[in-house]
Amino acid sequence: MGVWIIVGLLVIAFVAGVIEADRKSEQYKKDAEKNPSMSSKNWDQHQRRLKNFGESNCKDTHFYVGSKGGVYYISSRGTKVYC
């Protein structure tokens, strides 16, 4: 009987952890929509941020929109790499 109580409590704790992680993930997505410096893996969100802010951090690479409309990032050598 005691084993089933422990198993039940573990299941409840696991489900609560999954729900909390999902809530934090949704909040991160909302915050990242307003802050182009936050890294995003969502391509559509990346495109919206480029359009709205002229810059976006996608998959830990910061992209910029150039004066003529091209999208580029700065390489480790300090040169612009157009996409």
pLDDT tens digits, one per residue of 27-52: 878 888 899 999 999 999 999 999 99
DSSP-assigned letter for residue 38: S
Q: Which of 36, 30, 39, 28 is nearest to 65 (CA)?
A: 36
Count how many domains the chain has. 1
Give the residue-averaged pLDDT of 50-61. 94
Measured CA to CA, the distance from residue 36 to residue 55 in angstroms comes to 6
User: Tell me, what's the pLDDT at 47?
Assistant: 94
Measured CA to CA, the distance from residue 79 to residue 83 in angstroms comes to 13
Residue-number span of the structural domain to which 64 is assigned: 2-82
Query: Which three-class secondary structure state does DSSP give residue 70?
Result: coil
User: Tell me, what's the pLDDT at 72?
Assistant: 96
In this prediction the pTM is 0.68
User: Tell me, what's the pLDDT at 36?
Assistant: 92
User: Tell me, what's the pLDDT at 25?
Assistant: 74
Measured CA to CA, the distance from residue 34 to residue 14 in angstroms comes to 31
